[in-house]
Structure 1
Amino acid sequence: MTIQSLGVGSGLALDDLVTQLLNAEREPKEARLNDKEERIEAEISALGQIKSKLSDFKDTVDEMRRDSDINGREPTITHPSEDKEIFTADAANSALRGTYEIAVSDLASGSRIETDNGAFNSSADKVLTDGLGKATMTFKINNTGDSFSVEVTQDMSLAELREKINNNSDNFGVNANIIDTGTAIGGAKLVFTSDVTGTGNNLVIVNDGNRTELDKLTTTNSTETITNLSPVKNASNAKATIDGIPVESATNEFENTIQNVSFEVSSVSPLDTDGVTRKTSTLEIGYDRKGLETKIRDFVDNYNKIIADIKSLTRYGESDLEEDGALAGDSLLRGISNSLASVVGSSVDNSSLGSLFALGVELNSDGELEIPATDFGLGSGTERLEAALEDNFDEIAKLFTDENQGIAVRLFELTKEYTSYSGLISLRERAAKDDKDQIADERERFDLRMLNYEQILRDRYLNLDQTVARLNQTGSALLAALG
């Protein structure tokens, strides 16, 4: 007879027996693979975590290792009135400390051109009616080279010309507008204003084809030898005094008028009580102590985040109930911690401060940085930091930025060594991912072995089932024969 399912012929629970034997074979191996995979995934996660923290710290020290980012100057401005800002200022790190009295008498302006009284009655007036076809007008600033041209067609209205000027894609800052004077004498005036400021930068409007009707809209003919319209307002410079010395700028920004300092004016200074003299604003260029202190404290905090993560990941549980860290006792992370401590505890010969200790920053017994508020005889960390910011501002920069010994320079190179694509952490991550891939391969091979093993078991117990079934049939036949 043919048995389709184990145990059908014999009545024995052979199918359950095969399942139990398969589970007994599968579970220990699967448990080992699961444990191994869990450890590898925890390792990959932990490596990614510490790599991310080191990358963030690398960005922090990358800013600090450049003198331009740490040795900042802070402009402080006091205006005659808190309600009105006369100018703003910026200072390069090379700017010298100093105080300046600044008064602004004029803002820079562009030129303004208007058509003559009665040249047009309304915005609907036609510009060209001579029947000679289209013409062009060129708008330019001779000193700057800015230029664009507008095509004027027959029967174009004054309003249409205005829109064509304003919407020209090459327009460098010319605005056309129509003002209706409301009088027969004034009529409608087309007004041109230019954003290009500075003495000598007047707007020039050229009648390219010397069309008579365009003379009343332009400043000169095609050869620029004849004057048609003249600016009603010339382009002019911004004017100010610095400690009583007159200064000018073609724009509202004064760059390097004070060496390595720029300031941009937005309003003229108010008049003093005599109605003539301008009140001054005080510009003080000093060290950006607050900004640098923030950078130092952020540096301490970011360093400690790395150390805290390393401790958490490498710890051993203090009891059977407390789990070990994902990388308990890992030599790579211990090496990172030791290398970081070696750098922050080192000396910098080119800075008179010598080390972070003189800046008030110390390594404590837990391997973390701190700025202690307690005084143990050499001044508290807070006191040393305040003294360094007050008396040794430039030396702080050397402490971090010296190209050979600077702490931020060395920390940047150290963190890059660990976090780059070819760095130690990245290599370790790739090795762990390879191990995880191998586990996947092991699972596939194990599944195939289990399929083969199941087939062997089923074949074996199928024969048993069939044998028992035949014996049962024979027994039944004998019993029947014996009656």
Structure 2
Amino acid sequence: MSVGSLGAGSGLDLESLVKNMVSAQRDTKVKLYNDKLEGFETKLSALGSVGAAIDSFKSSVKTLNDETLFTGRNAIIDQEEGNESIAISTDNTASNGSYAISVNQTASGSRIVSADGLFSSGDDIITTVGGNLNLSAGDDSFTLTVEPGTTLSQLRSQINNSAENFGVSANLVDDGNGNLFLTMTSSKQGAENTLRITNEPTPVPEGSELVSDVDDDLESPALIETGFGLDSVSTEGLSAGLYTPLGDEAKDAIITVDGISIRNDTNTFEDAVSGLTIEALAISDKPANVDISYDQQTVKEAVETFISSYNEMVSVLKQSSAKGAVLSGNSMIRNLQNSLSSELMSSSTNTGVFSSIFDIGIEMQNNAVLSFDNAKFDSAMKKGYTEVSPLFTGDTGLAESLDNLLDNYTGSQGMNNTLKESVRRSIDDTEESLNDYEKRMERYESTLRDKFTGLDSQLAGMNAQGNYLNSMLEKL
């Protein structure tokens, strides 16, 4: 039925009458449903905030519940910023102490270069018979099959593009005086890993054209090989065309630790000092003093994060359950607050230097939040660093008991999620009831329209009869 057509026959505003009747029946009840939904959504949001705060606190608790946190080591290196000669990483097996470490030599790869005057152009043909070229550095090697007629430029590309290349880079350098040099660098470090190139040319049958065409007046054996084999691009043999310049051999790294010289084929020394990984960065002018100690700063940061997340959680719990708040009187929050206070105030059962977390600089304020005393914490660390771990970790540690406590409130089976699921079901039920009620109102409106449509028709008929009678009477 088209809206606005009702009452057209009778001339009465029946459309407004139907709307007002439906509104009188519907609006108050729908508002109650919407208010109820809004309350549920507000409660769900509050529980979400509570859950997020608990999860954040639980994360900080888990960090403190890790024994390795308290066994970490810190390396302090006395060296000029921007001019570092070493870098050090530690593990929890490192012994506290001091070392004097200097770098005498850094590890490097090798470089080889072609002889002066051997090549003049990248188009120079290095072999007319082809063969195999083997490039090796220590235990690493790869072999190229060089075809007859290969040019110097083609060989460079073949080396650089080889899928088996272990770190050799070939380049061509022009000195501007008609000489072109083939250079190769290897990234393989270590004194036993200087780059070597050997070749195995394809045998040339005796009496072949290639042999008979060789000019007997050629003075350079290397040039003779350039025409046939691969000696011109090898480092081995009497007529080898490549050589390693003095000082460009692959080198070991050499460091001195407390007067003891240590050699390694890379710049990373993993076994020189137990628990330390030493990286040689540059040759040092003087020994760098290295102090290894417990990683107190990381522990402090973990404790501060624990305090911060605890205070944030306490604030969220208070705001959510305050008088007039949506979770006011919520038993889950009340039980959690009481349990947390009880756990924090409990003493450790360990017979160590510290009996509770309040002995290491953590303090409970009157408003139930925690504070942190840096000076007291530093003093406690000096007094008994190794005694801090039992306060938090292990079966009797605070972090372990808090973690177990929070398990009851977090996760899919936790109380917070159970409450949220209950609220979601209430939302679903209320929305379903609202939808059912809206459908009843639609049926109610339809019934009213049917009734008033009939009334409108009857009134329209009566008006028509009345108009007819009036017109007849006027004619008498």
Interval containing the TM-score (normalised by the shorter chain)? 0.7 to 0.9
For residues 437 and 240 of structure 1, the distance between their equivalents in structure 2, rounded to whole angstroms, comes to 71
- Determine helix, strand or coil for the equivalent of 1:365: coil
Bigger shift: residues 449-458 or 160-169: 160-169
Correspondence list, 1:5-24, <5 A: 5-24=5-24
Shift of 1:285: 0.8
- Determine helix, strand or coil for the equivalent of 1:353: coil
The 8 Å contact of residues 207 and 218 in structure 1, kept in 2 or not, is answered as: yes
For residues 231 and 169 of structure 1, the distance between their equivalents in structure 2, rounded to whole angstroms, comes to 25
Where does residue 407 of structure 1 map in the other structure? 398
- Which one of 258, 261, 268 corresponds to residue 243 of structure 1? 258
Structure 1 residues 438 and 178, CA, compared in 2 at 3 Å: closer, same or farther?
same
Correspondence list, 1:370-389, <5 A: 370-371=371-372, 381-389=373-381
TM-score, normalization: structure 2?
0.82
Shift of 1:470: 5.8
Where does residue 207 of structure 2 map in the other structure? none
Correspondence list, 1:435-454, <5 A: 435-454=426-445
For residues 439 and 32 of structure 1, the distance between their equivalents in structure 2, rounded to whole angstroms, comes to 10
Structure 1 residues 38 and 215, CA, compared in 2 at 3 Å: closer, same or farther?
same
The 8 Å contact of residues 101 and 282 in structure 1, kept in 2 or not, is answered as: yes
Q: Does 1:202 align with 2:194?
A: yes
For residues 466 and 120 of structure 1, the distance between their equivalents in structure 2, rounded to whole angstroms, comes to 113
Structure 1 residues 227 and 430, CA, compared in 2 at 3 Å: closer, same or farther?
farther
Where does residue 277 of structure 2 map in the other structure? 262
For residues 265 and 364 of structure 1, the distance between their equivalents in structure 2, rounded to whole angstroms, comes to 50
Where does residue 156 of structure 2 map in the other structure? 162
For residues 331 and 306 of structure 1, the distance between their equivalents in structure 2, rounded to whole angstroms, comes to 16
Where does residue 384 of structure 2 map in the other structure? 392
Where does residue 222 of structure 2 map in the other structure? none
Structure 1 residues 231 and 5, CA, compared in 2 at 3 Å: closer, same or farther?
closer
Where does residue 369 of structure 1 map in the other structure? 370
Correspondence list, 1:121-140, <5 A: 121-128=120-127, 130=128, 132=129, 134-140=130-136
Structure 1 residues 141 and 431, CA, compared in 2 at 3 Å: closer, same or farther?
farther
Which digits, 9 at most, give the CA deviation of each residue in 1:376-396, with x for residues without a partner? xxxxx4443121122222222
Where does residue 215 of structure 1 map in the other structure? 231
For residues 228 and 413 of structure 1, the distance between their equivalents in structure 2, rounded to whole angstroms, comes to 74
Which runs of 5 or more residues in structure 2 are unaligned?
204-224
- Which one of 310, 335, 344 corresponds to residue 317 of structure 2? 310
Shift of 1:243: 0.9
For residues 182 and 474 of structure 1, the distance between their equivalents in structure 2, rounded to whole angstroms, comes to 120
Shift of 1:104: 1.4
Which digits, 9 at most, give the CA deviation of each residue in 1:210-258, with x for residues without a partner? 675212323459xxxx998664443222111111111122211111312
The 8 Å contact of residues 113 and 184 in structure 2, kept in 1 or not, is answered as: yes
- Determine helix, strand or coil for the equivalent of 1:99: strand
- Which one of 396, 414, 424 corresponds to residue 423 of structure 1? 414
Which digits, 9 at most, give the CA deviation of each residue in 1:79-134, with x for residues without a partner? 3x556211111121332210111121111122333333443234432222x2x3x5
TM-score, normalization: structure 1?
0.81
Where does residue 358 of structure 1 map in the other structure? 359
The 8 Å contact of residues 71 and 292 in structure 1, kept in 2 or not, is answered as: no
The 8 Å contact of residues 37 and 431 in structure 2, kept in 1 or not, is answered as: no
- Which one of 140, 160, 183 corresponds to residue 191 of structure 1? 183
Which runs of 5 or more residues in structure 1 are unaligned?
271-278, 317-323, 372-380
Shift of 1:446: 1.2
- Determine helix, strand or coil for the equivalent of 1:257: coil
For residues 465 and 112 of structure 2, the distance between their equivalents in structure 1, rounded to whole angstroms, comes to 125
For residues 148 and 421 of structure 1, the distance between their equivalents in structure 2, rounded to whole angstroms, comes to 57
Shift of 1:199: 2.9
The 8 Å contact of residues 352 and 395 in structure 1, kept in 2 or not, is answered as: yes
For residues 456 and 83 of structure 1, the distance between their equivalents in structure 2, rounded to whole angstroms, comes to 87
Where does residue 219 of structure 2 map in the other structure? none
Structure 1 residues 34 and 286, CA, compared in 2 at 3 Å: closer, same or farther?
same
- Determine helix, strand or coil for the equivalent of 2:272: strand
Shift of 1:284: 0.7
The 8 Å contact of residues 114 and 241 in structure 2, kept in 1 or not, is answered as: no
Q: How many percent of aligned residue pairs carry the same amino acid?
A: 31
Which digits, 9 at most, give the CA deviation of each residue in 1:127-147, with x for residues without a partner? 22x2x3x5432323343xx33
The 8 Å contact of residues 72 and 288 in structure 1, kept in 2 or not, is answered as: yes
Where does residue 295 of structure 2 map in the other structure? 288
The 8 Å contact of residues 320 and 326 in structure 2, kept in 1 or not, is answered as: yes
- Determine helix, strand or coil for the equivalent of 2:31: helix
Shift of 1:432: 2.4
Where does residue 348 of structure 1 map in the other structure? 348
- Determine helix, strand or coil for the equivalent of 1:29: helix
